Amino acid sequence: MQHSIWMYLLVMSAVTLAIRILPLTLIRRQIKSRFVRSFLFYVPYITLAVMTFPDILHATQTPISGLLALVVGATLAWFGASLFKVSAFCCVVVFLAERFLV
């Protein structure tokens, strides 16, 4: 079976353009639905979480140290710690966990 790179590029560009152009052409007025507005508000956060969550667990030598750092980071963020404090504490947790658990 013959595969053409040009066909792949054509399909990829058509899908990419459709994703960007269709909402602009089909939605002409302000969205009033509370459900749709809240859904669209959270889409960037969900996308970021889905892309980063697996890497949190697999970026370390052991998944346990990544899980510990995730729990500590989420707890600190929940209580209002700054991004710098959360990241610093997560790095310390990973360092200590890998030092003593591995």
- The pLDDT of residue 1 is 58
Q: If you search the block for the tokens 């809240």, which residue do you land on?
A: 38
Every domain of the chain and the residues it spans? 5-101
Q: What is the pLDDT of residues 31-78, one digit of tens each?
A: 888 998 999 899 888 988 888 888 888 889 999 999 999 999 999 999
d(CA 100, CA 80) in angstroms, rounded, equals 29
- The pLDDT of residue 88 is 96
What tokens were used for 93? Answer: 């947790």
State the CB neighbour count (10 A cutoff) for residue 85. Answer: 13
d(CA 9, CA 68) in angstroms, rounded, equals 42
H helix intervals, 1-102: 5-26, 34-58, 63-78, 83-101
What tokens were used for 39? Answer: 């859904």
Average pLDDT over residues 78-82: 96
Supply the pTM of this predicted model.
Answer: 0.61
